[in-house]
Structure 1
């Protein structure tokens, strides 16, 4: 795992975009597959990727995108559904065909339909040849996607209940905590680990404890993001505030400097 610490969130976005672009290029596929996170953490990264598209350094017209997760129960077209967020923040600016965007199905009428939709999502990822580069954020409680603490490290796409902490943190996107759905469909940690490259972005002091637990704590379901330690090609790009509680900072800086 590579840990890169940059001075500011803007620097994080620029460096993470380069790691993503490099990973897509290394895939050497006519139709690369990009794993897409939502929330505030990757917005700067997406803006940098959009700038690369405008500059002709990146072409995603033949790419496919797979979202990490989706809320259960939001009506079609709800502005805070992750499909709508990705259409706004990714498809338009990055030139990704909306018809090539896949999002977990949270519209099932009952648990059986939701479970069947989750299984189908796994099949669609496999049919696309797997994810080449998965973009990730991290929750303040260490969640990855919507894999809350206690999630099985080998889990696949499934229905999950959101923790009170996550619903409180996401209330800013809704009218308040009561407006945040209680359940989601999320890629599992095992699904995330199957991607060829993982790129985690984190900024700000609110993420410092979770980042330290994920990168330097034990590999544990108590901190779902700790699965990054298990991946052969994972890069965490952090600003100074998010990296503030790392014990091995000197080593990370020396490693980033190269031979």
Structure 2
């Protein structure tokens, strides 16, 4: 696990974009894992800029979404499929058919989750998984108490997560109570986990995830177990870290031959 602290979310987004650009330019069939929410917004903006101004192409890429709400109408703007379309596929040249997500309107959610899990496996797995962290330590929609080896499955959102997400809806009552989400074990199979966090509101969760115990009470703590994890933080999100000086020293003295 490598922890990199930069002054602003724009700078963490630029470094995250470097990682993704390297993958796109070096692998003929890259597979990305896409997250939603506020955190990856600056990253998607930076990738859009590089696509338009620098010719960065996504035509050869495939992508899988982390999660989806259950029960929202197909035309609801906050369905995560709609969000990814607005923020990613409509802006970049990745084919819409190359981006998959779990179907939150499936008649059999359990069977849909099994199908989606297998689709990721059949694609050869995810090369770079983008992820954020919730204020309660969730990653994707794996709430506190989630099994560390869990696979894609339905989950019930807790009250704090629904309150955090209410800003995207007209009222708290409109926030769905159920979701389909990649599991912690699914995320753990990605070849590179790229976790981003910004803002003081994430500082406590970040500290628990990175420096607390590996425990289901903080699902994002699986980052400690991942074989290749990069955590990109702004100053505010890093404010609760005890080993900040150590992380900064490693970043300042990174050798040129060591890839991100």
Per-residue deviation, 1:58: 2.5
Deviations 1:149-200 (A, max 9, x none): 0000000000000010000000010111110000000000000011100111
CA contact (8 A) 1:24 1:133 kept: no
How much is the aligned-residue C-alpha RMSD, in angstroms? 1.1
Structure 2 unaligned spans of 5+:
256-260
Query: What residue in structure 2 maps to residue 67 of structure 1?
Result: 65
Counting only pairs closer than 5 Å after superposition, residues 109-148 of structure 1 correspond to structure 2 as 109=107, 113-148=108-143
Query: What residue in structure 1 maps to residue 37 of structure 2?
Result: 39
Distance 1:53 1:254 in 2: 33
Residues 24/234 of structure 1: CA separation in 2 closer, same or farther (3 Å cut): farther
Residues 1:158 and 2:153 are matched in the alignment? yes
TM-score by length of 1: 0.95
Query: What residue in structure 2 maps to residue 231 of structure 1?
Result: 226
CA contact (8 A) 1:5 1:240 kept: yes
Residues 1:83 and 2:78 are matched in the alignment? no
> Higher mean Cα deviation, 200-209 or 92-101?
92-101
Query: What residue in structure 2 maps to residue 54 of structure 1?
Result: 52
Per-residue deviation, 1:50: 1.2
CA contact (8 A) 1:80 1:173 kept: yes
CA contact (8 A) 1:134 1:198 kept: yes
Distance 2:243 2:74 in 1: 46
Query: What residue in structure 1 maps to residue 18 of structure 2?
Result: 18
CA contact (8 A) 1:23 1:197 kept: no
> Higher mean Cα deviation, 16-25 or 73-82?
16-25
Distance 1:115 1:243 in 2: 37
Per-residue deviation, 1:20: 2.4
Deviations 1:57-99 (A, max 9, x none): 5211121110000000001121000000000001111221111
CA contact (8 A) 1:16 1:199 kept: yes
CA contact (8 A) 1:71 1:185 kept: yes
Query: What residue in structure 1 maps to residue 3 of structure 2?
Result: 3
Query: What residue in structure 2 maps to residue 193 of structure 1?
Result: 188
Per-residue deviation, 1:31: 2.1
Distance 2:196 2:142 in 1: 17
Number of aligned residue pairs: 254
Distance 2:25 2:194 in 1: 15
TM-score by length of 2: 0.95
Distance 2:79 2:109 in 1: 16
Structure 1 unaligned spans of 5+:
none
Distance 2:22 2:61 in 1: 15
Distance 2:67 2:13 in 1: 22
Runs of 4+ with >2 A deviation:
19-26, 55-58
Distance 1:152 1:126 in 2: 20
